[in-house]
């Protein structure tokens, strides 16, 4: 068995362990972080946690090789989306092998990349690396890339200048050079309860929310119709969707509260706030209309997330590196989803997205990854070791936390 085959086999074993940790974003990831720490310690590799303010979750950073400039970051998130209500045909927390595929929550998005990095630790540790390989595992990517800013700040502060950041989101082992940004908002409309026959004695939060939702629907349609036909993104331009709506307690009661959450996804160079100026003016009008009738009513808008877009880099070190490692000579590719790549780029790091698995499987029931993707990822890691042992240094760019 070749070293690449051995690495792939070991990666599947590690993936089985990682999937067994329920790291749904609403829960802690500390058990998984402890597992990774033990794997690192077995090869004498030190690591450090970067916890969330509550201490219930943590990012993890580890450096293999010399603490020298020109290092490469292997970046991935540890959290997964919920399985609630999804029609799984096997246990989502147990890796199941069928027909050349591995099923389980996170197999594609994105614990297989983490597994490959962990499985490669013996190769990393034994190789005469000229430049370091940094592991950077984050929390809460799935709920707005909330953990990455703390991780990036610590990387920029504590390690020598970094040449490239490889974000291992599922891309079928092809380089992705750009993605959309995402900003999401929670809107809470507070009305005044009364019997539904006595509309003059109350104010329905649901009816007020419909006015705001109607504006967002119109904005969504306008954004779709005005998208630049030359855009490389699919779908083109900005897109807006309302993901959750909850309001009212009974059919014959004017709703006291209605809460909805929406997200706006924008291409690089677009100003999300400017696109929403009209909506915020509508919010002001609805808030004033409610508050005029009942002092305790109104509209509150809270921003939940703000993840910057990731723009293709002209002559980017990271993209060139990922293409060399993956054997990728294809065209420029961009993605409609948001990821932590935009945050790394905004902090000054040359960045690319490249990892095993398909985004088409992400967040789905019976999520899976093809074993062939694990094998391609193992070859990628083997080539990375060879590259980091080369005498010629990679161009380095200093990340500056912002």
pLDDT in tens, 57-109: 999 999 999 999 999 999 999 999 999 999 999 999 999 999 999 999 999 99
Final residue of a structural domain among 307, 332, 357: 307
Final residue of a structural domain among 246, 281, 307: 307
Per residue in 234-280, pLDDT (tens digit) is 999 999 999 999 999 999 999 999 999 999 999 999 999 999 999 99
Same domain (yes/no): 349, 364: yes
Q: Supply the DSSP symbol for 171.
A: S
Per residue in 368-381, pLDDT (tens digit) is 999 999 999 999 99
Tell me: pLDDT of 401 over 80: no
Is 28 a domain residue? yes
Is 24 a domain residue? yes
Tell me: pLDDT of 400 over 80: no
Q: What is the mean pLDDT of residues 138-161?
A: 95
pLDDT score at 305: 87
Is 402 a domain residue? no
Is 393 a domain residue? no
Mean pLDDT of the chain: 95
Is 198 a domain residue? yes
Is 103 a domain residue? yes
CA distance 153 to 400: 8
Would you place residue 395 in the very low, low, confident or very high pLDDT band (cuts 50, 70, 90)?
very low
CA distance 214 to 206: 12
Would you place residue 393 in the very low, low, confident or very high pLDDT band (cuts 50, 70, 90)?
low
pLDDT score at 267: 97
Same domain (yes/no): 142, 211: no
Same domain (yes/no): 46, 171: yes
Q: 149: helix, coil or strand?
A: helix
Which domain covers residue 302, as residue numbers?
A: 181-307
Per residue in 344-375, pLDDT (tens digit) is 999 999 999 999 999 999 999 999 999 999 99
Q: What is the mean pLDDT of residues 26-38?
A: 98
Supply the pTM of this predicted model.
Answer: 0.89
Same domain (yes/no): 42, 144: yes
Is 397 a domain residue? no
Per residue in 233-243, pLDDT (tens digit) is 999 999 999 99
240: exposed, middle or buried (Cβ count in 10 Å: 0-12, 13-18, 19+): buried
Please state at what angle helix 30-41 crosses helix 3-19, rounded to 10 degrees.
150
Same domain (yes/no): 133, 174: yes
Same domain (yes/no): 197, 229: yes
Same domain (yes/no): 342, 258: no
Q: How many domains does the chain have?
A: 2
Would you place residue 1 in the very low, low, confident or very high pLDDT band (cuts 50, 70, 90)?
confident
| Contact by Cβ (8 Å): 351, 318 | yes
pLDDT score at 297: 98
Same domain (yes/no): 158, 31: yes
High-pLDDT (> 90) share of the chain, %: 94
Which of 252, 261, 249, 257 is CA-nearest to residue 204?
A: 257
Is 396 a domain residue? no
Same domain (yes/no): 35, 155: yes
Same domain (yes/no): 193, 87: no
Sign for the pseudo-dihedral over CA of 173, 174, 175, 177: negative
DSSP string covering 290-329, please? HHHH-TT-EEEEEEEEEE--BPPPTT-HHHHHHHHHHT--
pLDDT score at 402: 33
What is the CATH number for 43? 3.40.630.10
pLDDT score at 398: 37
Same domain (yes/no): 108, 235: no
Tell me: pLDDT of 396 over 70: no
| Contact by Cβ (8 Å): 162, 399 | yes
Would you place residue 130 in the very low, low, confident or very high pLDDT band (cuts 50, 70, 90)?
very high
Same domain (yes/no): 317, 260: no
Final residue of a structural domain among 307, 328, 347: 307
């Amino acid at each position: 068995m070749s070293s690449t085959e051995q690495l792939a086999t070991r990666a599947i074993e590690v993936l089985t362990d990682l999937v067994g940790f329920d790291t749904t974003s609403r829960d802690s990831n500390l058990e998984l972080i402890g597992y990774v720490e033990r794997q690192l310690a077995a090869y004498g590799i030190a690591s450090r946690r970067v916890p969330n303010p509550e201490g219930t979750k943590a990012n993890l950073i580890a450096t293999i090789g010399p603490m020298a400039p020109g290092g490469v970051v292997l970046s991935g998130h540890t959290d997964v989306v919920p399985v609630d209500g999804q029609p799984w045909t096997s246990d989502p927390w147990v890796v199941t092998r069928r027909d050349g595929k591995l099923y389980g929550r996170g197999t594609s998005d994105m614990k297989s990349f983490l597994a490959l990095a962990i499985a490669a630790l013996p190769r990393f540790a034994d190789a005469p690396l000229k430049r370091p390989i940094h592991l950077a595992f984050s929390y809460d990517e799935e709920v707005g890339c909330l953990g990455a800013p703390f991780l990036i700040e610590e990387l920029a502060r504590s390690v020598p200048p970094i040449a490239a950041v490889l974000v291992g989101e599922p891309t079928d082992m092809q380089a992705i050079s750009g993605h959309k940004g995402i900003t999401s908002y929670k809107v809470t409309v507070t009305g005044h309860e009364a019997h539904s026959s006595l509309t003059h004695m109350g104010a329905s939060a649901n009816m007020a929310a419909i006015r705001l939702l109607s504006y967002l629907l119109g904005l969504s349609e306008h954004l779709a119709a005005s998208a630049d036909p030359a855009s490389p993104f699919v779908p083109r331009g900005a897109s807006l969707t309302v993901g959750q709506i909850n309001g009212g307690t009974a059919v014959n009661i004017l709703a006291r509260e209605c809460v909805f959450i929406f997200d706006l996804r924008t291409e690089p160079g677009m100003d999300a706030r400017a696109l929403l100026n009209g909506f915020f003016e509508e919010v002001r009008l609805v808030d004033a209309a409610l508050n005029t009738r009942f002092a305790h009513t109104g509209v509150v808008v809270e921003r939940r997330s703000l993840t910057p877009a990731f723009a293709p880099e002209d002559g980017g070190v990271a993209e060139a590196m990922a293409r060399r490692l993956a054997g990728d000579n294809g065209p420029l590719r961009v993605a409609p989803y948001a990821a932590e790549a935009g945050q790394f780029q905004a902090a000054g790091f040359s960045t690319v997205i490249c990892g095993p698995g398909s985004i088409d499987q992400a967040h789905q029931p019976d999520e899976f990854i093809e074993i062939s993707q694990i094998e391609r990822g193992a070859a990628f890691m083997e080539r990375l070791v060879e590259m980091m042992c080369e005498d010629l240094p990679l161009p380095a760019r200093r990340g500056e936390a912002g």
